[in-house]
Amino acid sequence: MIKKHSQSRRSFLKKLSVGVGSSSLLATQGKLQLMNAAIAADSDYSHFDDHKSLVCVFLLGGNDAFNTMIPYEQSAYQKYQAARTGMALSRNSLHALKGGEQAFHSSLPDLQQLYNDDKLAVATNIGAIIEPTSRQTFKNKSVQLPPDLFSHSHQQEFWETGTTAKNSVHPPGWGGRMIDMLASANSNPTEPSMFSLAGNSVWQKGIKPLDFVLNPYEGVTQIRSFTPDVWPNGPHKESRIAAWNRIKASSSSSLLQQHMTSTYNSTEERINSLIEQIAQAQEITTEYPSDNELAVELKMAAKMISIRENLGQKRQIFFVALGGWDTHGNQLADHAERLGKLNDALKSFYDTTVELGIADSVTTFTASEFGRTMSINGDGTDHAWAGHNIIMGDAVKGGQVHGEPINLTIDGPDDAQDTGRFIPKYGVDQYGATLAKWMGMSDSDMNEIFPNLSNFDTNDLGFMS
């Protein structure tokens, strides 16, 4: 049975704002102001005097967790080898983790070193569940499950929001909801402090417009449609520019035109300010690998963190992503290549946080919509469920695998079916709440952010110091 928690004033107002129709833009604005006021009233983090940044690295496609971290103890490895058959990795190729129980893939030598140096940890047995789920409750359908299990789009959305779209309306993501509430920690709480380097994602979208999509190569580019150097030369060039500037400066009784003008002007001002701040950012001397899209995104994230004081931001959140993890075929080669990119990018990013003196205030974590089957389909694996996730930074309780290990027996007590689709022990809500707690969020706010959190016995999986 699902546990219920009491409905807060903020939660009531959110539902009210969605449920009540409006007949005018003014009415809509009034609802939004009411909703934002409710959030602000209950979420005052203005007392924070430290800096913390959270970086989500989303592995798009479903990472094969079981060939990322592999049992290394001899008897456990033999069970893995028997289950993985033709795609089992050679034990001699693996990078053993301290303690000797587990090992990383051969493409992760730097992450092995970070783990052994207590700068990196693994959270195991994580996945998309709404409430505690067992093989028995799964099979007899006595437990509530996320809709469309094993579907890329639905499970990615569940990972990013804790639920899925209803009537084509997407819920806000838990990254965006966090920054909605943490915005009061920043000197200008209306300015974006959620940055995506990988385009738009549901995870970054909150209720307030506090997210900003950055170009991973340039950071921010000007709105160039009406700048003098873009307009074609001709007899009407200056008059056209002047006309556009008059439109921007004009007042109108039309609420729509007022909103359009205000939005354009504030966006242009925000972009120009960010361009100036990024140009003044400290030069990063840490080397980043070439031909590595994730490394490019993380380097720009590091640059944004380096100017946090100039931006007046004590709390920042970032979203980066690396695709190519849907390994139905040619997995051994493709997975090794993807893991190599992940290893190189994360190592450079961690070294940058050391260079900038912020390794203890930046936490990086991985996510992926699901793990993959323990059984193989020839030279690949299929969509599955539970998996492992990496957490990196000096604030992490590193050198440990956190959580109850998955029993990797096909058709065993943790298998939902008979192919090694293992049922998660811990929910995404618990994983996210552990990170939110480190960011300084209160328990009451975490219950607002993570819709399934109250169904579990703990909101802290223990991997953060």
The answer to whether position 108 is within a domain reads yes
Asked if residue 258 has pLDDT above 90, the reply is no
* 71 and 192 within one domain: yes
* 38 and 56 within one domain: no
The answer to whether position 279 is within a domain reads no
The count of structural domains within the chain is 2
Residue 12 binned pLDDT confidence (cut-offs 50, 70, 90): very low
* 187 and 160 within one domain: yes
The answer to whether position 464 is within a domain reads no
- Which is higher by pLDDT, 210 or 239? 210
Residue 225 binned pLDDT confidence (cut-offs 50, 70, 90): low
Domain ranges, residue 10? 1-17+26-42
| Whole-number pLDDT of residue 2 | 40
Average pLDDT of the residues in 16-31: 36
Residue 42 binned pLDDT confidence (cut-offs 50, 70, 90): low
Asked if residue 62 has pLDDT above 50, the reply is yes
Asked if residue 293 has pLDDT above 90, the reply is yes
* 55 and 11 within one domain: no
The answer to whether position 124 is within a domain reads yes
The answer to whether position 356 is within a domain reads yes
| Whole-number pLDDT of residue 37 | 44
* 349 and 325 within one domain: yes
Lowest mean pLDDT among 241-245, 336-340, 396-400: 241-245
* 153 and 113 within one domain: yes
Residue 388 binned pLDDT confidence (cut-offs 50, 70, 90): very high
Asked if residue 264 has pLDDT above 90, the reply is no
Asked if residue 7 has pLDDT above 50, the reply is no
* 324 and 195 within one domain: yes
The answer to whether position 226 is within a domain reads no
Percentage of the chain modeled with pLDDT above 90: 74
Lowest mean pLDDT among 28-42, 252-266, 398-412: 28-42
Asked if residue 328 has pLDDT above 50, the reply is yes
Distances (CA, A) of 312 to 50, 63, 191: 12, 36, 10
Model pLDDT for residues 115-147, shown as the tens digit of each residue: 999 999 999 999 999 999 999 999 999 999 999
Lowest mean pLDDT among 55-64, 221-230, 233-242: 221-230
* 417 and 305 within one domain: yes
